[in-house]
């Protein structure tokens, strides 16, 4: 539980006979990574997987070392979701973890280690590896919850107020979910291989714990899948909603135009300057034209009401919104 | 068959040599749960799955105890569907059930226990566990029937009267079905593991009964899937229906505008004030203009009728609605 | 081959040493069903599956009795498709069939039994069960053919004349197909279990026949699936077709409005009553305005023709329809 | 290699000890088919599969005879694709093929047989059966290529000129592909069963050749699937393209209407006949009104240009098309 | 490491006891290919797969030779993606590669061979084959990255500026991705067969390296799948975006028409020439009409503002774009 920046010191700190957890941040210095690799006798392909991020989450045995690649998810205040590869290497009596950036997601594990009576302190390295992986998987729950809350907000907006801005948000959300699912999905298989007992260095007892982690993996992957399905549904609803609004706009236009265009035509008729237009000189012609116009307008309104385009309900404006 | 609120009393009530069913409601008191866990010697991971709801439905063996996690569905009068995790733990000669809220869904089981001659009273604990799970699964049928009835109502509305309100209802229905399917789906697998005989503490005889429960699981999951497909279909139909209506609206507008705009133009021509407009002074000009207008309008109507935009059928208004 | 309405008589009619087929219609009388169950020593769960219709098609062994649940399809003249559960129970030397309503779908089997030289009369009960199931599966072909013919009719209509009525028909068709597929699908698995040889009471020889029935199951399920895909395609085509027509309508409106609105404006200009409008008093002004109007209209027409909105082809009206 | 129309002659021609290929066209005469069946000792179910076309492509063993049902595809000049069932029956030292219509698709096989040094002449009957099946599968490539070329033609048209006629063509193409895929798909499995070695009468050596045929099956089925996906994509693109065009049309209408309707209103104002309209008598009123109109029109144009509805690019007409 | 154009020389250059890599470009000369086939004792079917391009990627054993068919991807500056089949044949102590066109994609392998201390030079032929396949698979990453960058560019455009040109680009991109996926997909299986140990000539040690290649295959296929899903999403977003814009255009038209059409009608009324129109002679009639018009226009604007069609926000033009 100390911070070491020099590999030589690491070599000293790493005392045989004790279970050690070495947590390495950043891969800046290729040579240092190589030294660590030599110290722990890591397979060159294993080192490559650790350094060339992002790899697909997986579990892989190299001799009696097990490489567990998982993705750590972090939620920023801006709502953005960031994913980072964490490599957990389980050796005989040590656990090595590599991550690119420093994060505090593994703090709960550290706390449990410092606690002298905790189970983690009194168990083998496989239990420590389980604790690390479990903590990383559990961090998906708050991330998914955040996305779920955003989805719920979008749901009302999509029908009430479908703006291009919302479309863009939905689009971004969908890509984020597609991306998220892509990293959760292979984790199921990776953890499952640990549970199934492919690796003898993981004890039966720890496998029962890992079974729980596997269940969480499956659950998060199903939630991510469900959200993706829901956001796809929302985008279709968006299209329907826009079509609805266009229909609404068209009805207003059609009603206005259909009522006033014939009336304007009638007015145009009696605005003509022919010498011989007997109606112009009749005394009741002007009011008669008004009556004719009102009848025409009334007829159109009745027709539109029959078609259901006009509702007499005064609250229609409110309802639409 | 008594209500006990104190764990100490439970301990007394729990007499060896008899099959007991302990039904626990609410997880308010962490400590009580722990005491129950100690009393029944439950694995800590099992207790965690029971308390941290909702877990994914599953069956899991911890030693010779079997944890069966299922989702109970309850339909409220408002049409809302509520799901709640029920944990059934099958021990040697007892069955423990945990649920968060009190519900009367398990009443049929209680009734059968009180009946002295019933099979449930004279069987082992595995049969009791079956009876509880079967009762929970059977409760999906009325919930699905309710959703099916709502879907049927929506079907006509979608073509007759596609309002934004209906779109919202369809959207909610879809999410409800996605959610429902998500809890039914893993239950298939969970029950199947009981049927397959992975657990020796479930007798061959009870497995035949569980096979029936499994069939019901599969059937409900297929119905939920079919409903989800139908509601997706309805949302697409909604879009088509709206497009149809917009087309209808556009036709009316186009017919009105195409007939009257040229006529208004003609009227406008003879409303001009040029000094030299010979037509204005002809005697038959005014009736000629009327004839020209009628011909124009008739020509347009004929064109629209040819295009099929106007139907001579008087019942067209009714048909559209 | 006689009609018996009393279970007591049935008991007599059922002579040991002969292969009997007992066909029971309707489950009205719970007690009678129970008597039959006792007579044939049916498992209570088997009886439940028989009576509580509709169950999911399946094959299930209860001791040396095999329950085969299939769905019988019947096409009515109105084009409606009706499905009904038929339970075939294969015992040592008898076959029991249960169906709710009377139907003549099994008549071909009866005819073959009456024919003394037919294979069915000289075989074991498993061949009789095969003959019944095969006859039921074969009845799917005419039902699918009818749906196929309807689909073909819809295909032309969807592009030529996409009315809301057609949309409704398509929607109904889709639900019918979803429903149909849902009952055909599990039949595949049910028949496959008979073919695979899970049940020793079905002889190797009959299994070769059942393999053929299985192939028919797969074929009908694939046709139903293909039809469902086609009807989904038709509904999308419907939407495209409507969009097309709206586009067509809009073009007419736009052409009419774009030509006459500027002309009406021009006419409006010279209908103004200003004292000082020199054009009004020019001798050639009126014809000049006409020329200006014709040029404007011609320009618009040329622009629309360039855009491809107007085709010079006289047959355009016909083509569109 | 002779044409025989009488079964009696066939019986003679069929000499023991030689590998024979009997190719039968048309199933007109039920009795002849039965005679052939008797001659070759074919299982009645096998004969039924051969005669009742179309069956689902499959491989089925009846004793030591193997029935291979495949679909032959033929492309007509009109672009239509015709499929026909070919039944290949592999016996001890003969191969029987049944097809409904005469076709020249198997000519390459005949040519290879006539060639005395060819491998086909010097091999067992299983190699002959392979050669026939391989020739039939290879005929899918030109059919798919033809469809691929048509698809490519549609691709440009869909964006450039989305007519209802094109929609119909796309729809037909889709159905053709759905149909094609439905016959290619089960062929994969059918050929795979031959490769896997389920049938001892197919030698290891021929299985290596069949592996190649299987690869072609998989490849054609993948191409058909890809085409189906592409045509679905095209139909969606069609809808987008139509929506685009409607948007284009609407913009023209809106621009025209929005510019001229206010101007016409202005002209209407000064066409009123009120006695007291001081503007009418002002000397500069008429030119002022023109200036006002030009400013209004300019303002609208500027607004539309800001919105991006008008492009100053002279080539816009060309671009749109 | 020399270029040889004559097969006779090849025969000499190919010295027993050394691991050789023979890289052949172009299949122009059928005879040469045959000579090479004879020299290396290649199975005729193997040669056929090599020459008849493109075959589906696969691994196939012919005796102790292994044929590995993969697709090489090359990105041109124009953004086009070109795929070409590379056949890698692994013999006892040689590796043969065939490719149609010359490319520099295998240069890294050549460089490693020339380096005397490199692992590749000191290993068996199976390691050389691995190095070649790995280099080819790794070339998918830059190709996918390029497509990913293009997709990102399209994402903004789709909502900001959905032109027909963009639709065409999206369509092309989709087809390219469908095509790419189709060649990556079977490579997974091909490489997996090498990893699983189906072929004894690949040593355990090289299999560990191939496992890495397999992981890259899976990752690239998942990225291609994700991109395809994203481009499908983009095309749907495009449609929504267009619908949005049409709605926007319609609103402008409706607002303009609804405001000015009634006003024009009013102006038309008082442009009529009836002898008896008392309003015309009232002194305050003209200003009253103006007031009436302003009230009408204001009422319409208020109505549209209530409906949310007009936003008072001055930045609305910017926002929309």
Answer whether B90's CB lies under 8 Å from B97's CB: no
Cα of D68 to nearest chain E Cα, Å? 23
Record the tokens describing residue A105, joined without a space: 């997601």
Tell me the sheet residues that pair with E82. E74
E321 at the D interface (CB within 8 A)? yes
Name the residue among C60, C41, C46 with its Cα closest to residue B195. C60
Domain boundary among D240, D263, D291: D240
- Cα separation, C237 vs D233, whole angstroms: 12
| Residue C3 pLDDT greater than 80, yes or no | no
Answer whether A233's CB lies under 8 Å from E236's CB: no
| Torsion angle, alpha carbons of C210, C214, C216, C217, to 10 | 130
- Secondary structure element (H or E) that encloses residue B241, with its range: helix B204-269
B161 at the C interface (CB within 8 A)? no
Which are the contacts of A188, defined by CB distance < 8 A and separation ≥ 6?
A214, A217, A218, A221
| Per-residue confidence in pLDDT tens, chain B, 321 aa | 555 566 666 666 555 556 678 888 777 677 888 888 888 888 888 888 888 878 889 998 888 899 999 998 887 766 678 888 899 999 888 888 888 876 677 888 888 887 777 777 777 888 889 999 999 998 898 888 888 888 888 988 888 888 888 998 898 888 888 888 888 888 998 999 999 877 888 888 899 889 989 999 998 988 988 898 899 999 999 999 999 999 999 999 999 999 999 999 999 999 999 988 888 998 888 999 999 999 999 999 999 998 888 876 544 444 443
Residue A254 within any structural domain of the chain? no
Q: Kindly report, residue by residue over D172-195, the tens digit of the pLDDT.
A: 888 888 888 888 888 998 999 999
Q: Kindly report, residue by residue over A105-158, the tens digit of the pLDDT.
A: 788 888 888 777 777 777 788 888 999 999 999 989 888 888 888 888 898 888
Cα of B310 to nearest chain C Cα, Å? 12
| Torsion angle, alpha carbons of A203, A205, A206, A208, to 10 | 130
Which are the contacts of B83, defined by CB distance < 8 A and separation ≥ 6?
B54, B71, B72, B73, B74, B179, B180, B183
Phi and psi angles of residue C89, each rounded to the nearest 5 degrees, phi first: -115, 125
> Among all chains, which residue has been given the structure tokens 């009736």?
B287
With beta carbons under 8 A apart, name residues in chain C contacting D254. none
Q: What is the pLDDT of residue D159?
A: 84
| Residue A283 pLDDT greater than 80, yes or no | yes
3-class DSSP state for residue B143? helix
E264 at the A interface (CB within 8 A)? yes
A151 at the E interface (CB within 8 A)? no
Q: Name the residue in chain C with its Cα closest to that of B319.
A: C165
| CB–CB contact B159 C167 (8 Å) | yes
Q: What is the pLDDT of residue A149?
A: 87
- Cα separation, A75 vs A146, whole angstroms: 8
With beta carbons under 8 A apart, name residues in chain C contacting B141. none
Residue E264 within any structural domain of the chain? yes
Same domain, B132 and B236: yes
Of C164, C239, C321, the CB nearest to B320: C164
Tell me the sheet residues that pair with C22. C96
| Residue D301 pLDDT greater than 90, yes or no | yes
Give residue C181's domain range.
Answer: 7-240
Q: What is the pLDDT of residue A16?
A: 52
Residues of chain A above pLDDT 70, percent: 89
Residue E201 within any structural domain of the chain? yes
Domain boundary among E205, E221, E240: E240
| CB–CB contact A240 B238 (8 Å) | yes
Q: What is the pLDDT of residue E94?
A: 87
Domain boundary among D240, D261, D284: D240
Answer whether A242's CB lies under 8 Å from E239's CB: no
Same domain, C234 and C290: no
Tell me the sheet residues that pair with D70. D86
Same domain, D102 and D199: yes
- Secondary structure element (H or E) that encloses residue C58, with its range: strand C58-62
Q: Kindly report, residue by residue over A206-228, the tens digit of the pLDDT.
A: 998 899 899 999 989 889 888 98
Cα of D182 to nearest chain C Cα, Å? 8
With beta carbons under 8 A apart, name residues in chain A contacting B250. 250, 254
B17 at the C interface (CB within 8 A)? no
Same domain, E312 and E167: no
Mean pLDDT of C88-94: 88
| Residue A79 pLDDT greater than 70, yes or no | no
- Cα separation, D237 vs E207, whole angstroms: 45
Q: Which residues of chain E have pLDDT under 50?
A: 314-321
3-class DSSP state for residue E49? helix
A260 at the E interface (CB within 8 A)? yes
Answer whether E115's CB lies under 8 Å from E104's CB: no
| Residue C290 pLDDT greater than 90, yes or no | yes
- Secondary structure element (H or E) that encloses residue B232, with its range: helix B204-269
| CB–CB contact A285 E265 (8 Å) | no
Same domain, E128 and E261: no
Cα of A92 to nearest chain B Cα, Å? 26
Residue A205 within any structural domain of the chain? yes
CATH code for the domain in which residue B270 is found = 1.20.58.340
Q: Name the residue in chain B with its Cα closest to that of A266.
A: B264
Q: Kindly report, residue by residue over C120-153, the tens digit of the pLDDT.
A: 777 788 888 999 999 999 989 888 888 888 888 8
Longest dimension (CA), chain E: 120
* Burial (CB count within 10 angstroms: exposed 0-12, middle 13-18, buried 19+), residue B83: middle
With beta carbons under 8 A apart, name residues in chain C contacting D311. none
Phi and psi angles of residue E96, each rounded to the nearest 5 degrees, phi first: -110, 135
Of B158, B229, B244, the CB nearest to C178: B229
Residue E1 within any structural domain of the chain? no
Cα of A183 to nearest chain E Cα, Å? 10
Same domain, E123 and E75: yes
Same domain, B147 and B278: no
- Range of weakest confidence among A30-34, A122-126, C114-118, D238-242: C114-118
- Range of weakest confidence among B55-64, C254-263, D4-13, D141-150: D4-13
**Strand locations in A26-152 (E):** 58-62, 65-75, 81-90, 94-99
Site from E265, E307, E320 to mutate, A interface, most A CB atoms within 10 angstroms: E265
Of D56, D179, D257, the CB nearest to C261: D257
C74 at the D interface (CB within 8 A)? no
Same domain, E12 and E52: yes
Residue C265 within any structural domain of the chain? no
Mean pLDDT of A270-295: 90
In order of B166, B177, E109, the CA distances from B149 in angstroms are 15, 14, 67
Of E241, E247, E272, the CB nearest to A245: E247
Q: What is the pLDDT of residue B191?
A: 92
DSSP code at position A57: P
In order of B5, B14, B42, the CA distances from B9 in angstroms are 8, 8, 18
Q: What is the pLDDT of residue E26?
A: 75
Q: List, edge to edge, every strand of the sheet that includes E58-62.
A: E20-25, E94-99, E81-90, E65-75, E58-62
Would you call the peptide bond into A54 cis, given omega within 30 degrees of 0 as the criterion?
yes
Of D239, D257, D277, the CB nearest to E256: D257
Beta strands at C81-90 and B94-99: parallel, antiparallel or unpaired: unpaired
Q: How many domains does chain C have?
A: 2
Residue B1 within any structural domain of the chain? no
Answer whether C294's CB lies under 8 Å from D293's CB: no
CATH code for the domain in which residue D38 is found = 3.30.460.20
Cα of D107 to nearest chain C Cα, Å? 31
B92 at the A interface (CB within 8 A)? no
Same domain, B29 and B137: yes
Residue D175 within any structural domain of the chain? yes
DSSP code at position A16: T
Same domain, A281 and A135: no
Of A60, A175, A242, the CB nearest to E230: A175
Q: Kindly report, residue by residue over E56-76, the tens digit of the pLDDT.
A: 899 988 888 999 999 988 877
Gyration radius from chain A CA atoms: 35
- Cα separation, D220 vs D184, whole angstroms: 7
With beta carbons under 8 A apart, name residues in chain E contacting D249. none
Q: Label residues E172-198 b or e (16+ Cβ within 10 Å = b).
A: ebbbbbbebbbbbbbbbebbbbbbeee
Same domain, C235 and C286: no
With beta carbons under 8 A apart, name residues in chain A contacting B271. 268, 271-273
All chains having 3 or more CB pairs closer than 8 angstroms to chain E:
A, D
3-class DSSP state for residue A306? helix
Phi and psi angles of residue D161, each rounded to the nearest 5 degrees, phi first: -150, 70
Answer whether A163's CB lies under 8 Å from A245's CB: no
3-class DSSP state for residue C57? coil
B110 at the A interface (CB within 8 A)? no
Residues of chain C above pLDDT 90, percent: 25
Name the residue among A119, A87, A118, A116 with its Cα closest to residue A100. A87
Q: What is the DSSP string of C7-26?
A: HHHHHHH--TTS-EEEEEE-
| CB–CB contact D239 E235 (8 Å) | no
Residues 167-206 of chain E whose Cβ lies under 8 A from any Cβ of chain D: 167-168, 171, 174-175, 178-179, 182, 186
Answer whether A177's CB lies under 8 Å from A234's CB: no
| CB–CB contact E258 A261 (8 Å) | no
Site from D145, D160, D247 to mutate, E interface, most E CB atoms within 10 angstroms: D247
With beta carbons under 8 A apart, name residues in chain B contacting A264. 260, 264
Answer whether A121's CB lies under 8 Å from A15's CB: no
| CB–CB contact C165 B226 (8 Å) | no
Which are the contacts of B6, defined by CB distance < 8 A and separation ≥ 6?
none
- Cα separation, D265 vs D297, whole angstroms: 13
Of A226, A233, A308, the CB nearest to B321: A308
Q: What is the pLDDT of residue A39?
A: 85
Q: What ipTM was reported for this prediction?
A: 0.84
Cα of B138 to nearest chain A Cα, Å? 24
Mean pLDDT of D76-83: 76
- Secondary structure element (H or E) that encloses residue C217, with its range: helix C204-269
Same domain, A177 and A297: no
Q: Kindly report, residue by residue over D226-282, the tens digit of the pLDDT.
A: 898 899 999 999 999 999 999 999 999 999 999 999 999 999 999 999 988 888 998
Record the tokens describing residue B234, joined without a space: 């309805």
Per-residue pLDDT band for A99 (boundaries 50, 70, 90) equals: confident
């Amino acid at each position: 539980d100390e911070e070491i920046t020099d590999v030589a010191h690491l070599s000293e700190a790493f005392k045989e006979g004790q279970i050690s957890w070495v947590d390495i941040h950043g891969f800046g210095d290729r040579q240092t990574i190589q030294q660590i690799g030599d110290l722990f006798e890591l397979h060159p392909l294993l080192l490559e997987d650790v350094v060339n991020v992002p790899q697909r989450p997986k579990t892989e045995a190299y001799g009696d070392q097990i490489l567990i690649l998982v993705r750590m998810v972090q939620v920023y205040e801006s709502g953005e979701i960031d994913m980072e590869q964490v490599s957990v290497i389980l050796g005989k009596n040590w656990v090595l973890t590599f991550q690119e950036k420093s994060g505090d997601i593994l703090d709960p594990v550290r706390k449990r280690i410092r606690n002298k009576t905790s189970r983690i302190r009194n168990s083998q390295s496989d239990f420590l590896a389980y604790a690390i992986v479990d903590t990383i998987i559990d961090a998906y729950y708050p991330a998914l919850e955040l996305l779920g809350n955003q989805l719920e907000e979008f749901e009302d907006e999509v029908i009430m107020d479908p703006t291009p801005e919302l479309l863009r948000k939905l689009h971004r959300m969908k890509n984020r979910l597609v991306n998220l699912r892509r990293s959760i999905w292979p984790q199921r298989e990776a953890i499952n291989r640990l549970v199934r007992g492919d690796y003898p260095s993981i004890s039966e007892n720890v496998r029962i714990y890992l079974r729980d982690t596997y269940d969480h993996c499956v659950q998060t992957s199903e939630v991510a899948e469900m959200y993706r399905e829901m956001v796809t549904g929302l985008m279709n609803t968006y299209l329907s909603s826009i079509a609805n609004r266009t229909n609404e706009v068209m009805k207003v236009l059609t009603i206005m135009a259909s009522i006033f265009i014939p009336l304007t035509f009638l007015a145009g008729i009696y605005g003509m300057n022919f010498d011989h237009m007997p109606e112009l000189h009749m005394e009741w012609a002007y009011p008669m034209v008004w009556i004719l116009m009102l009848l025409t307008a009334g007829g159109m309104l009745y027709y539109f009401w029959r078609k259901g385009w006009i509702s007499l309900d005064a609250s229609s404006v409110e309802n639409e919104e």
